[in-house]
Structure 1
Amino acid sequence: MAKHLFVLNDPPYGTERSYNALRLARSLLNAKEEVRVFLMGDAAACAAAGQKVPQGYYNLGDMLGAVVRRNGEISVCGTCMDARGMTEERLIEGARRGTMDILTEWTQWADKLLVF
């Protein structure tokens, strides 16, 4: 079983990079692989709770929730959260505030690092 770290940088909407990264993360979890997701920059907004999107449109908060429910881990850059006025209370359930130390630890843990 391989260990995969996803580092997302793009916003939840406006591009499909974060969406496609989470599609792959879920697929790897379904294949019984280990997955961790670190959100930084504009990707911090992917973990915002209570996202409301048009009917039929993907919801990144829900997709991250599926990662957590399949025993994946989610961490959000604390500096990036602060820059965007986000608090831990605004994160989806299962996501936690992160640091560069956590990203460093996770990078050392991973067999494969995927950056989106």
Structure 2
Amino acid sequence: MLPMTTVTVVIQNSPYKENNKAWHALRFAGAALAEDMAVRVHLLDDGVEVGRHSHKVPEGAVNLEELLSELIECGLEVRACGMALNDCSIDESAMLPGIERGSMKALANWVKNSEHVMVF
């Protein structure tokens, strides 16, 4: 049996932008989990907003808060950049359960120990 492939996904965009990068990143994370990959998501810059509670979901859009919560329950590891949380004035208590405060050092370690890195 082959060892599990590890992929790190970096999300830099806030949710519900016209380009849907945050949604596509979470879709990819879910697909990778379904393919038995170890998946880790690092929320960076405006991407920390993806992990915040109580988004206003635009009409017709997928609820990213629910999707992210489901993925965490399925084994997705998620960290939010501590500096980005500070810059966006987001308290850790405003984040979804299961999201840890991260750092560039922690992200570098994830990247070092991943076979693949995807940036959205």
TM range (shorter): over 0.9
What does residue range 2-13 of structure 1 map to in structure 2 within 5 Å? Answer: 2-13=5-16
Structure 1 gap segments, 5+ residues each: none
Structure 1 or 2, whichever has the larger Rg, is 2
Q: CA deviation at 1:51?
A: 2.0
Q: CA deviation at 1:50?
A: 1.9
Q: Which letter maps to 1:3?
A: T
Is residue 2:107 matched to residue 1:109? no
Q: Deviations over 1:81-116 (max 9, x none)?
A: 111110110000101111111101111111100011
Classify the secondary structure of the residue corresponding to 2:54: coil
Structure 2 gap segments, 5+ residues each: none
TM-score by structure 2 length? Answer: 0.91
Q: 1:46 aligns with which of 44, 50, 55?
A: 50
Distance 1:115 1:54, change over 3 A: closer
Q: Which letter maps to 1:79?
A: M
- Determine the structure 2 residue equivalent to 1:66: 70
TM-score by structure 1 length? Answer: 0.93
- Determine the structure 2 residue equivalent to 1:29: 33
Number of paired residues?
116
Q: Deviation above 3 Å: which 4+ runs of structure 1?
A: none
Q: Which letter maps to 1:108?
A: K
The answer (yes or no) to whether the contact 2:9–2:39 under 8 Å persists in 1 is yes
Identity %: 28
What's the C-alpha RMSD, in Å, of the aligned pairs? 1.2
Classify the secondary structure of the residue corresponding to 1:66: helix
